């Protein structure tokens, strides 16, 4: 285990920083750090400045909780979006994924996590109060609950559903199931059961 200590400390510290990122193992981190060694000093300095500036440059949208560079995020400011349709997600990363699919034209609400008793995170740690505030002043006709398909995601969706019950508000849950192009022969039983449970009528 002491094989890594032969690196100069500056390299080792950078490797350890990269390893903290999701999906980056020690080998990949080492490759990245060695690749940085080839960069021009000015480029490295600029990279460092951008990293250091991140906490100042990124804000949380005062309306939906998405990442923003001013008071409100680009989606909330976009007059082409349908503000009566709110998609509730756990984190801004999920907004990126949904936006990439270019299929949703409403706006969002970021909960800032999920209910997770094991991690000591309860409903009070989520932005549910802010969601209720929005529902009180915005004319929302549908809320789409897009939290994860696992136990915690389901618990979070149920909690939000119970909290926002209001006449005239339609609440829906995104469907889960077989990936497009997927063969049901390869899906696990939990996925099959989700897919059958969230089936819809075809005409």
Closer to Zn ion by Cβ: residue 64 or 89: 64
Q: Kindly state the smallest distance separating residue 174's Cβ from Zn ion, in Å.
A: 19
How many angstroms separate the CA atoms of 145 and 88, rounded? 5
How far apart are CB 155 and Zn ion at their closest, in Å?
A: 25
Q: How far is CA 150 from CA 32, 109, 182, 195, in A?
A: 33, 20, 20, 14
Q: Tell me how far, at minimum, the Cβ of 143 lies from Zn ion, in Å.
A: 16
How would DSSP label each residue in 52-103?
A: HHHHHH-EE-TTT--EESSSS-HHHH-TTSEEEEEEEESSHHHHHHHHHTT-
For the CB of residue 31, give the shortest distance to Zn ion in the complex, in Å.
37
C-alpha–C-alpha distance, residues 86 and 106, integer Å:
6
Question: Which residue ranges make up the site for Zn ion (CB under 5 A)?
Answer: 61, 63-64, 66, 73, 76
Nearer to Zn ion, 15 or 73 (CB): 73
- Measured CA to CA, the distance from residue 92 to residue 108 in angstroms comes to 9
How is the beta sheet containing 170-173 ordered, strand by strand? 106-110, 82-89, 142-145, 170-173
Contact indicator for 105, 82 with CB cutoff of 8 Å: yes
Residue 66 or 147 having the CB closest to Zn ion = 66
**Least spacing, CB of residue 65 vs Zn ion, in Å:** 7
């Amino acid at each position: 285990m002491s094989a890594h200590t032969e690196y100069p400390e500056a390299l080792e510290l950078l490797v350890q920083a990269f390893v903290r990122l999701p999906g980056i193992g020690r080998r990949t981190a080492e490759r990245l750090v060695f690749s940085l060694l080839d960069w021009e000093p000015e480029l490295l300095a600029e990279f460092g400045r951008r990293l250091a500036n991140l906490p100042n440059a990124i804000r949380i949208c005062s309306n939906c909780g998405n990442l923003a560079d001013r008071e409100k995020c680009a989606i909330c400011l976009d007059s082409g979006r349908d503000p009566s349709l709110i998609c509730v997600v756990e984190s801004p990363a999920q907004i990126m994924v949904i936006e990439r699919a270019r299929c949703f034209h409403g706006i969002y609400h970021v909960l800032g996590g999920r209910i997770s008793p094991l991690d000591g995170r309860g409903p009070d740690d989520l932005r549910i109060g802010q969601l209720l505030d929005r529902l009180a002043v915005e004319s929302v006709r549908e809320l789409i609950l897009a939290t994860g398909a696992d136990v915690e995601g389901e618990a979070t969706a149920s909690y939000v559903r119970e909290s926002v019950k209001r006449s005239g508000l339609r609440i829906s849950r995104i469907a889960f199931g077989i990936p497009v192009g997927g063969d049901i022969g390869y899906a696990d039983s939990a996925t099959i059961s989700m897919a059958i449970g969230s089936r819809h009528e075809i005409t």
